[in-house]
Amino acid sequence: MQERTSNVLIIASANNLELLPPELTRCGRFDDIFKVDLPNNGERHEIFKIHLARFDERFRNGGNAYSEEEWRRLLKETYRCVGAEIGAIVEKAAASTFCQMFEGSRNDYLYSQLPALEITVAALLEARRNINPLAIREADKVEKMRNRASLQGLPSSMVDDSVYSHGNINIFS
């Protein structure tokens, strides 16, 4: 790494910088260190849309089936959720919605006759209640890693300028 005799790009990933030897994180070893933080509101909104599009046609090709108010509620309730947790929430809501579509029904549907799956915000919120995000469950450890990464790393995300952002608030100015 030090001599750099060829044009090779090296990318490394670590969940906890404290476990790396200090000589590996000194200046000159890597050009930059980036902090990949918890997703902000705008990023969670995009992650939801990606996962929802897997099950609900209304979200395909940039579609949207929820009001801004519904999105705000969903984003508030999923604060500190990461992409994998959002994916699990959507999957659980899709499974629940699918099962509810056929509750009490004795009809034998052919695959081509199945009605379109429409996942509601209520189903997503119910699924969220059944998931305990790592950043909440292990808050002390996660915050310690986030604080350490903030001291050493550049942000990997842009400032949230989505309509769901809380604004760029600086409480220390």
Question: What is the pLDDT confidence band of residue 3, given thresholds at 50, 70 and 90?
Answer: low
Q: Are 164 and 72 in contact (CB under 8 A)?
A: yes
CA 18 to chain centre: 24
- Structure letter (DSSP) for residue 63: -
Tokens matching residue 119: 């996942």
How many residues in total does the chain contain? 173
Tens-digit pLDDT profile for residues 109-157: 555 577 889 999 999 999 999 999 999 999 999 998 888 888 878 888 8
Domain ranges of the chain: 41-138
**Dist. CA 58–CA 10, nearest whole Å:** 40
Q: Are 157 and 43 in contact (CB under 8 A)?
A: yes
Which one of 3.20.20.150, 1.10.8.60, 3.30.70.100, 2.40.50.100 gives the CATH number of domain 41-138?
A: 1.10.8.60
Alpha carbon distance, N-terminus to C-terminus of the chain: 40
Quote the pLDDT of residue 161. Answer: 86
Tokens matching residue 150: 């903030």
Q: Are 159 and 37 in contact (CB under 8 A)?
A: no
Query: What rounded mean pLDDT belongs to the chain?
Result: 87
CA distances from 58 to 51, 114, 127, 141 (A): 12, 16, 20, 38
- Residue 1: what residue type? M
Report pTM. Answer: 0.82
Tens-digit pLDDT profile for residues 12-31: 888 777 788 888 877 777 77
Q: Are 40 and 81 in contact (CB under 8 A)?
A: no
Tokens matching residue 147: 């604080």
